[in-house]
Amino acid sequence: MTAGAGRFAPSPSGDLHVGNLRTAVLAWLFARSSGRGFLLRVEDLDPERSRTEAAQLRDLTALGLSWDAVPVRQSERTGYYLAAIDRLSEAGRVYECFCTRSEIADAPRAPHAPPGAYPGTCRNLTEEERARRRRDRPAALRLRADAEQYTVKDLLHGTFTGPVDDMVLLRNDGVPPYNLAVVIDDAAQGIDQVVRGGDLLTSAPRQAYLASLLGLPEVVYAHVPLVLNGAGQRLAKRDGAITLTALAGIGMDSDDVRNLILASLNLPPGTLENALDAFSPALLPRGPWVFDSPGSVLPGL
């Protein structure tokens, strides 16, 4: 799409809750207010857990969201991810990794390394060492990074610099990971604006760094505040009536939920098109929205 696009890209591993739906609404508003198209991508890299696509599309439609092309499914794009890995491998940017999660967690790291960063255990194995380890377990493939940090632009957070490490490019079961797939798909779909939850801000530098190695266009990010439960924790399925289906069971239809979300964004009730007229990123609340129960956030319930 020549004018660029925004997107919403849920993983179909469960029903969308109010936090997911609020992010979808924000992604739509950011895209439409900037003259961009709006696309939907189904991030179903793990087919075993991907069972709720139809329900998610139904809920997004019920809220009034529309998109400009048939949704793309990551499960149908494995060849593109493998081609990108081949390009990186030809440039000397890929190596085999035989570490388990527990080995990575227990490995010593440099004092400045962030928690969870890969310590480079398999980076410089000899061919003899790799051959020996292949007999014990299949290898994952990792990126041979030459940077420790990278800077991205965020419409709500400004300039953000975060760590980069030797991220996984292909799991040892042959499945491409999220960090690779999202970079390839955003570029392929002409997506130049990524609106998503604030918990993913720290992932943006490594994704942007990977895109730069592949010669892909830069993306402008907007990491929006999360929805929290009454305990101040990120909203999760255990928090009760938080999906459209569950809220319908206590008398809230999709219009009520949309108005609830719009109210949390200081936008007028009604259709998304009406809210678009009042939407401005500069006026968005910057703190999290606490959704303890429908009655706590919507008077009269």
At 54-113, the pLDDT tens digits run 999 999 999 999 999 999 999 999 999 999 999 999 999 999 999 998 888 888 766 666
Q: Above 90 in pLDDT, residue 117?
A: no
Q: Can you name the residues that pair with 221 across neighbouring β-strands?
A: 154, 194
Q: What is the C-alpha to C-alpha distance for residues 39 and 60, in angstroms, rounded to an integer?
A: 12
CA dihedral 256, 260, 261, 266 (to 10 degrees): 130
Q: What is the C-alpha to C-alpha distance for residues 207 and 217, in angstroms, rounded to an integer?
A: 12
pLDDT digits (tens, 9 = 90+) for 178-190: 999 999 999 999 9
Q: Are strands 289-290 and 227-228 parallel, antiparallel or unpaired?
A: parallel
User: pTM for the full model?
Assistant: 0.91
Query: Using 50, 70 and 90 to split pLDDT, how confident is the model at 50?
Result: low
Spell out the residues 6+ positions from residue 236 whose beta carbon is closer than 8 angstroms to its own.
17, 229
Q: Above 50 in pLDDT, residue 1?
A: no
Instruction: Please give the annotated binding residues for Zn(2+), written as ranges.
Output: 97, 99, 118, 122
| Residue 91, token pair as written in the block | 């440039």
The candidate with the shortest Cα–Cα distance to 242, out of 225, 266, 260, 265, is: 260
Instruction: Please give the annotated binding residues for L-glutamate, written as ranges.
Output: 7-11, 43, 178, 196
| Residue 123, token pair as written in the block | 């980076």
Q: Mutual orientation of helices 78-90 and 178-188 as an angle, nearest 10°?
A: 100
Domains of the chain in sequence order = 5-76+225-297 (3.40.50.620), 78-177 (3.90.800.10)
Instruction: Please give the annotated binding residues for ATP, written as ranges.
Output: 237
Instruction: Please give the annotated binding residues, written as ranges.
Output: 7-11, 43, 97, 99, 118, 122, 178, 196, 237
Query: Using 50, 70 and 90 to split pLDDT, how confident is the model at 244?
Result: very high
